[in-house]
Structure 1
Amino acid sequence: MNIKRALISVSDKRGIVEFSKKLREFGVEIISTGGTAKLLEENGISVKKVSEITGFPEILGGRVKTLHPKIFGAILARFDNKEHLNDLAKNDIMPIDMVVVNLYPFEEVAKRTRNEEKLIENIDIGGVALLRAAAKNYRDVVVISDPDDYRKVIKSLEECGDVPLQKRRIFALKAFYRTMRYDSEIHSVLSELFASGNF
């Protein structure tokens, strides 16, 4: 089993309990945040909270949770780069092999309101950064941005104990596409709100 540690932080929680249970059956350690960690623990799934790894609590009402070198260093390190591995060792950072993230539902909120404060609070920062970091390092990190892909990942792990490179590339492309669409939707809605749609 090449996947040893997974960071899971999802807004859309469908299927995440079943997926996480399967990962635990494979011996994968699960790192999580906020509501996701609470849900998994309530369902008997062992979770290590991000704050236990970073030594820093979630702050600003949850605006800052994962933005820390012990998380992003763990995701962005290349396993074939001795300097990266030395940096991990020197800074007591354990690699993260899988990132499972979906984003705050900005688009859904925007369908219901043009209240500026509600829109702003549903702009995801850490989630987008996690997806981009994991997608950039797809050779060493499996990035899952779509709950519909959980079954594919489990099937792959059952077949070979890993997610093959081409599947990793496809998952990375999907993550980049999702973050692009997400930013585009934010830009479109805020342009309408702030600049009469002309910006």
Structure 2
Amino acid sequence: MQIKRALISVSNKEGVVEFARQLHEAGVEIISTGGTMKAIKEAGIPVTYVSDVTGFPEIMDGRVKTLNPYIHGGILAVRDNAEHVAQMEKHGIKGIDLVAVNLYPFKETIAKPDVTLAEAIENIDIGGPAMVRASAKNFKFVTIVTNPAKYNEVIAQIKENGSVDDRTRMELAQEAFAHTAAYDTMIQDYLAKQLAK
């Protein structure tokens, strides 16, 4: 799968601007959200705001921004399924070939000594895990990157081949599911501790 379009939305912004720059130089269109988009745009890299893709603004203090068929259809479409492709064309959905997402800093939030339950709850990511899981499920066609340490490996393959090889996509999918599993475990553990008080 040629990487033509990428969605980048990260809490950990380590290396993300350079990653976006190299994607752009490789001819990849970039979609982004909130603070990530701001960082990419300020670096002079062309980027499309997710609301311009969905036709709907970020709402509810950013709780709802990527939970939309223009995003999830673009990620989940099976590209060699004629019905999926026809539905993409019918509804104006463009494929998303690479997703770089890592999640709200729940661990760092609950580590604060005076954190409130309300603050902890606001740092439970919803759209992020949904995109990570969708991308990982569809790793046959989508490259999911949750770990900034993998940016260079992914970029190197894109520069060489315009794509990421099958095994690497599966490895990244496995890492992505481990990422969301650890995240959910941390949340349920925190809530269990609150209930035990």
The TM-score, its normalising length taken from structure 1, stands at: 0.96
Measure how far apart 1:112 and its partner are. Answer: 1.0
Matches within 5 A, 1:1-199: 2-113=2-113, 114-196=115-197
Gaps of 5+ in 2: none
Give, in angstroms, the shift of residue 129 of structure 1. 0.2
> Structure 1 CA distance, aligned partners of 2:80 and 2:196?
47
- C-alpha distance in 1, partners of 2:160/2:33? 29
Distance 1:195 1:111 in 2: 18
Q: Secondary structure at the match of 2:111?
A: helix
1:3-43 C-alpha deviation (Å, 9 max, x unpaired): 00000000000100000000000000000000111111000
Output the CA distance in 2 between the equivalents of 1:84 and 1:160.
26
Cα RMSD, aligned residues only: 1.0
Secondary structure of the 2:136 match is helix
Alpha-carbon separation, structure 2, partners of 1:65 and 1:105: 18
Runs of 4+ residues over 2 Å off in structure 1: none
Unaligned runs of 5+ residues in structure 1 are none
**Overall identity of the aligned pairs, in %:** 51
What whole-Å deviation, never above 9, does each CA across 1:39-60 have from its counterpart, x for those lacking one? 1100001110110011100000
Q: Whole-Å Cα distance in 2 between the matches of residues 30 and 64 of structure 1? A: 20
SS of the residue corresponding to residue 61 of structure 1 reads: coil
Residue 154 (structure 1) shift: 1.0
TM-score by length of 2: 0.97
Number of aligned positions between the proteins: 196
Cα distance in structure 2, aligned partners of 1:40 and 1:65: 18
Q: Secondary structure at the match of 1:60?
A: coil
Distance (whole Å) between structure 2 residues aligned to residue 119 and residue 41 of structure 1: 29
Shift of 1:158: 2.2
